[in-house]
Structure 1
Amino acid sequence: MQQTETETFFLTSEKKDKANYQTMMEHTIMAILGSLGDSKAYSGKTPQELKDLLQSQTLLPEKGLGFEAVLQQVSKTILPNLLRTSSDSYMAHLHSPALLESIASELILSTFNQSMDSWDQSPIATEIEIATISQLAGLYGFDGNSDGVFTSGGSQSNLSGITLARDWYCSTKLHHDVKKDGLPPCYGKFRIYTSEISHFSMEKSAHLLGLGYNAVVKVPVDSACKMDAKALENLIQVDMKQGLLPLCVVATIGTTDFGSIDPIEKINDICKRYNLWLHADAAYGSGLILSQTYASRLGPLGLCDSLTIDFHKMFLLPISCGAFLVKDGSTLEAFSLHADYLNREEDEEDGYTNLVGKSMQTTRRFDALKVWMAFQTRGKDGYGQIIDTCIENATYLYEKLSDNPAFEVATKPEISSVVFRLRASCDTNKKIRRSLLLDKGVVIGQTVYAEKTFLKFTLLNPLINHQKLDSLIALIEQLGKEV
């Protein structure tokens, strides 16, 4: 294919390519800005209305339309209907707005398109990830023997933790090498313990590892939605008497719905007593580490054998961006396999790090840049203010709802999620959420607590203020009378 004089494929050192890159980026920015005509979180269109918008468009036309024509189509049909996570009317999920500096970092990493599997595909990017992981490990209380890797998010990090727990158990207890020989004959007896309200990635991980959902033992929670440590120990003892093989406990440091934090010290004591691997899913709660006021709520995470961190939640970075840390870096060898075309052994001997040996993925994005730039831009003080604001907003909302007899609140928040319901039928609360979404441009969550439908505010946006929360409480109360 012959490139015409005015056609641009990539950003190169050529003057015309630089000019075209700048023009395309500027036009894209103007289209984005032009789509922000109000403060709603969503336009309100139904699924069918969105389908109708796209009916006349073809994915692959016979002849290319050109960038400007496509951008016009995107500006007309897509941009106005995207969910606006930066709106103070969005509080449905653990899905945060993106800090501006992290959006700038996305432009850099997408433009240069590093692949994090081998050093020769990502030289400075590899060194940035190594340095970032090292400093993150220290931040969470791990020592110099620790290590880690960036992941796509909580599900992959949790799968990584349970994988290492399984291999560690088989190696140390059964003297069996899963990596070479596959699962041992007794694998059907393996048991993983986690809170009854933990993330569904625990069951998914057990399935993917060949252990099945039945390997996951759900531990009851107390009135604050924290794992009941006594119940955990009782379950372990009962299983052991039945000849089952406990290998791992997964503590949740910020449950998806309630933000509740499992008692890590008590759970660690049990793991030490029975010689079990302790993994902590801190995908939600990990951000508290940067708060001078609330970091102690996490507990000593450095006690854990492995740890899940998500940066696209409380840290306000673009999806996807997670990390997986381990106390003993040598355990990551479970993911290592040498290939002559990628991670040659002589590279390591000569000081070149090929990160594919630490990861479940081969090709990975340079997500560490987002953390590197955002952390340096905000500093611990700036991040601390953001996180404290979100937590204090949740406390304020909880207190306002608790004082209002029209509402019922599930639990007192530890982080930034508030689960509540209007004292009405379940259908009423469901209709309120749908009305807010389609008629008001307000997006909130919905879940189940005590077998009833509850609404949920997940407060990750520091721009939300008390006045906004007051107005939403009043609006929900009013809608309850109308729907």
Structure 2
Amino acid sequence: MRSHLLNDLTAEHYRRSVTEGVERVAAQLATVKRPFTGITVDALAPRIDAVDLDAPLGDTTAALDELQEIYLRDAVYFHHPRYLAHLNCPVAIPAVLGEAVLSAVNSSLDTWDQSAGGTLIERRLIDWTAARIGLGPAADGVFTSGGTQSNLQALLLAREEAEPGRAGWEGSQNLGRLRVFVSEAGHFSVRKAAKLLGLGPDAVVPVPVDHDRRMHTVALARALERCRRDGLVPMAVVATAGTTDFGSIDPLPEIAELAAQYGTWLHVDAAYGCGLLVSPTRRALLDGIERADSVTVDYHKSFFQPVSSSAVLVRDAAVLRHATYHAEYLNPRRMVAERIPNQVDKSLQTTRRFDALKLWLTLRVMGADGVGRLFDQVCDLAAEGWRMLAADPRFDVVTQPQLSTLVFRYVPAAVTDPAEIDRANLHARKALFASGDAVVAGTKVAGRHYLKFTLLNPETTTGDLAAVLDLIAGHAEQYLGESLDRAS
């Protein structure tokens, strides 16, 4: 079995095995005709349950044959131009190369003596991103597993900075006084973070949004003033630069002014909108982000990186001390004096993959402008899609996109019952997924069911959007016709 461990004696085995796997994936990608086969859980689960994990196949080819049957054939393929559902992007080839390198070398980014140059590459990318944001010379940060972890760490820092040095502040009574303000369209991870941080059930204060699903700053000002009047502590304001449902960008300059006025930590969740940092044409949409105390970026969304690749950035490197713990076996305090760079001093994680390498190779091959142009293309596509939907009497579109998301629903001319329209849209989404012809997402707006295109594939065309809209309308009409027949 030692022959399956990667080392100097098995380099040729490694090359053959990985090459065979890459060829399988390449062949699959070349032949995919739909984003999904439509297979159901009930059909696929028995195949996987039937695999005897205590009876190894002993052969790479046989294992890949099995994998073809239980995974590759029926995977959901984000590279297909009619995958329009979630914030999943087709990935840059240099990043996939980076994934292969980092997995094989298997550096761990917690300490210098496990990573060497990997630590310096990650730190350079953090500095590069902070400079793109405009956080200033004292900025720092660390790569994370995703936006949820980045938001959690940012709010941990905000909590610790809310009342520094106040004796007994960590007591539950005082923690219950902390408040976090986020728009109604903000990410659910803010509530999850508040719970994990021991804050009270009323800690997260939802702020109403305007017609464009952007945080209403007048409502935020009122909420902050009410917080102060009630003797509570405004721990943080979370502005969103690219909401998951609508791609809306909160008015960052105005929110930054309010945060400064009330002495409140400003966190900007730019997990989605971070692609604007490299956009040749739309960077101004992020104006005001440079005033944030912390920022979340997800390169695995709008930088076309494989999962996972994310980071949390802070204006003041000193606040990362709140995530610092020293262990004699790993990162003893003396290493700080010796100027040995240990990333675990900044991170909530200990063992951590060298995910920064994927972004590094992408930038070194494609350049930041190349990545930004791809993101611009999907934003341009969303603008064209909005015009199509606005002109199509079959659909109601919610708001004009700032990024690359469209929220809409089919509205039949002959049906007025909102519940029946809801059911028609739900059916259309399920039927489309079952057919495998396209994959779209769904959400709720004012309690009603809507559909969603999340456009992150520059290969998707307006023709693809038009075809999928026709499919949606067809499935909805079929449902309504059958419903009418059942009623009669």
- The residue that corresponds to 1:404 in the other structure is 392
C-alpha deviation, 1:391, in angstroms: 0.3
Q: Which amino acid aligns with 2:13?
A: N
Offset, 1:64 = 5.3
Q: Is the 2:428–2:473 contact (alpha carbons within 8 Å) kept by the matching residues of 1?
A: no
Q: How does 1:308-387 map to 2 (within 5 A)?
A: 308-387=296-375
Name 1:79's counterpart in structure 2: 72
> Could you say what secondary structure the match of 1:23 adopts?
helix
Partner of 2:484: none
Q: Is the 8 A contact 1:312 1:319 kept in 2?
A: yes
The answer as to 2:42 corresponding to 1:48 is yes
**8 Å contact kept, 2:142–2:311:** yes
Aligned-partner residue type, residue 252 of structure 2: I
User: Of 65, 74, 98, which residue of structure 1 is paired with 2:91?
Assistant: 98
Q: Is the 8 A contact 1:167 1:177 kept in 2?
A: no
Q: 3-state DSSP class of the match of 1:477?
A: helix
Alpha-carbon shift at residue 303 of structure 1 (Å): 0.3
Does structure 2 conserve the Cα–Cα contact (< 8 Å) formed by 1:196 and 1:221? yes
In the TM superposition, structure 1's runs of 4+ consecutive aligned residues that sit over 3 Å from their partners are 63-66, 182-185
Residue equivalent to 1:12: 7
Following superposition of structure 1 onto structure 2, how do residues 140-219 of structure 1 map, counting pairs within 5 Å? 140-171=133-164, 175-176=166-167, 182-183=170-171, 185-219=173-207
Q: Does 1:304 align with 2:292?
A: yes
Q: 1:244 aligns with which of 232, 243, 259?
A: 232
Say whether the 8 Å CA contact 2:256–2:288 is kept in structure 1: no
Q: Does 1:22 align with 2:15?
A: yes
Shift in Å, 1:31: 1.9
Deviation at 1:231, TM superposition (A): 0.4
How far apart, CA to CA, are the structure 2 residues paired with 1:432 and 1:220? Answer: 30
Question: Aligned runs of 1:268-287 on 2, under 5 Å?
Answer: 268-287=256-275
In structure 1, the partner of 2:485 is: none
Assess if the C-alpha contact under 8 Å between 2:236 and 2:267 holds in 1: yes
CA–CA separation in structure 1 for the residues paired with 2:210 and 2:222: 15
Once residues 373 and 351 of structure 1 are traced to their aligned partners in structure 2, the CA distance between those partners, rounded to angstroms, is 27
Q: 1:150 to 1:413 in 2, by over 3 A?
A: same
2:271/2:301 contact within 8 Å kept: yes
Per the alignment, residue 390 of structure 1 pairs with 378
Cα distance, 1:481 vs structure 2: 1.9
| Paired letter, 1:48 | D
The aligned counterpart of 2:417 is none
Q: Which residue of 2 aligns with 1:430?
A: 426
Q: Displacement of 1:39 after TM fit?
A: 2.3
Cα deviation 1:372-427 (Å, max 9, x = unaligned)? 11112111221122011100000000000000111100111000000000004111
SS in 2 for 1:296: helix
C-alpha contact 1:176 1:184 (8 A) present in aligned 2 = no
Name which of 460, 466, 472 aligns with 1:470.
466
Q: Output the CA distance in 1 between the equivalents of 2:384 and 2:127.
A: 36
Give CA-to-partner distance per residue, 1:61-110, whole Å, 9 cap, x none: 3x553333222111122110111011111111111121111111100000
Distance 1:300 1:376 in 2: 28
In structure 2, give the amino acid aligned to 1:337: Y
Give the total of aligned pairs: 470
Instruction: Give the letter aligned to residue 436 of structure 1.
Output: L
TM-score by length of 2: 0.94
Identity of aligned residues (%): 36
Q: Answer yes or no: is the 8 Å Cα contact 1:287–1:315 preserved in 2.
A: yes
SS of 1:445's partner is strand
Q: Give the counterpart letter for 1:318 in structure 2.
A: P
Does structure 1 conserve the Cα–Cα contact (< 8 Å) formed by 2:57 and 2:63?
no
Letter in 1 for 2:182: T
Residue in 2 that maps onto 1:481: 477
Equivalent position SS for 1:35 = helix
The answer on whether the counterparts of 1:203 and 1:213 sit within 8 Å (CA) in structure 2 is no
1:417 is matched with 405
Inter-partner Cα distance in structure 1 for 2:185 and 2:108: 36
**In 1: Cα distance, 2:437 partner to 2:351 partner:** 38
Cα distance in structure 2, aligned partners of 1:39 and 1:99: 20
Counterpart AA for 2:325: L
SS in 2 for 1:194: strand
Query: Which residue of structure 1 lines up, in the alignment, with residue 483 of structure 2?
Result: none
Letter in 1 for 2:70: T
Q: 1:300 to 1:376 in 2, by over 3 A?
A: farther
Residue type of the partner of 2:24? Answer: A
Q: Which amino acid aligns with 2:86?
A: H
The TM-score normalised by the length of structure 1 is 0.94
Conserved? CA contact 1:198–1:252, under 8 Å: yes
Q: Distance in 2 between matches of 1:471 and 1:337?
A: 55
Corresponding position of 2:439: 443
Give the structure 2 partner of residue 88 of structure 1. 81
Correspondence for 1:134: 127
Deviations 1:317-373 (A, max 9, x none): 011110000000000000111111111223232231011010000010001101111
Matched, 1:38 2:32: yes
| Amino acid in structure 2 at the alignment position of 1:175 | R
SS at match of 2:470: helix
SS of the counterpart of 1:427?
helix
Tell me which residue corresponds to 1:58.
52
1:295 corresponds in structure 2 to 283
> Distance between the aligned counterparts of 2:102 and 2:428, measured in 1?
41
CA distance in 2, matches of 1:47, 1:64: 25
Q: Quick one: distance in 1 between partners of 2:106 and 2:71?
A: 25
Contact 2:405 2:453 in 1 (8 A): yes
8 Å contact 1:248–1:278 — kept in the other structure? yes
5+ residue gaps in structure 2? 413-420, 480-488
Long gaps (5+) in structure 1: none
Query: What SS does the aligned partner of 1:444 have?
Result: strand
Segment drifting more, 393-402 vs 292-301: 292-301
SS at match of 1:213: coil
